[in-house]
Amino acid sequence: MTGNLQPDDLLGDFTADRRVLTLTGMAALIGVISALVALALLRLIGFFTHLFYYHAIDSRLVSPADNRLGVWALLVPIVGGLIVGLMARYGSERIRGHGIPEALEAILIGQSRMSARVAVLKPLSSAISIGTGGPFGAEGPIIMTGGALGSLFGQAFHLSPAERKTLLVAGAAGGMAAVFSTPLAATLLAVELLLFEWKPRSFIPVACAAAVAGALRVPLLGAGPLFPVPPHAALTADGLVIALALGIAAAFGSGLLTWLVYACEDLFRKVPVHWM
Strand ranges for 142-231 from DSSP E: none
Residue 165 to residue 150: CA distance in whole angstroms: 8
The better pLDDT of the pair 232, 40 is held by 40
Looking at 62-66, 113-117, 258-262, which range is the least confident one? Answer: 113-117
Tell me the pTM. 0.81
**What does each C-alpha distance from 111 to 61, 108, 160, 166, 196 come to in angstroms?**
36, 7, 9, 11, 14
**Which DSSP letter does residue 227 get?**
S
User: Looking at this protein, which amino acid is placed at residue 265?
Assistant: E
**What does each C-alpha distance from 69 to 60, 72, 74, 127 come to in angstroms?**
19, 5, 9, 20
Q: What is the pLDDT of residues 80-136, one digit of tens each?
A: 999 998 998 888 887 777 667 777 777 777 777 888 888 888 888 889 999 998 877
pLDDT band at 162 (very low <50, low <70, confident <90, very high): confident
The residue length of the chain stands at 276
How is the chain split among helix, strand and coil, in percent rounded to 5?
A: 75, 0, 25
| Burial of 29 (C-beta count, 10 Å sphere; 0-12/13-18/19+) | middle
Residue 215 to residue 227: CA distance in whole angstroms: 18
| Burial of 59 (C-beta count, 10 Å sphere; 0-12/13-18/19+) | middle
pLDDT at 77 over 90: yes
Residue 133 to residue 108: CA distance in whole angstroms: 33
CA atoms within 13 Å, Cβ hemisphere of 35: 25
Give the count of beta carbons closer than 10 Å to the beta carbon of residue 197.
13
Phi, psi angle pair for 77, to nearest 5°? -60, -30
Q: What's residue 2's pLDDT?
A: 47
Contact of 202 with 194, CB cutoff 8 Å = no
pLDDT band at 175 (very low <50, low <70, confident <90, very high): very high
Distance of CA 128 to the CA centre of its chain: 16
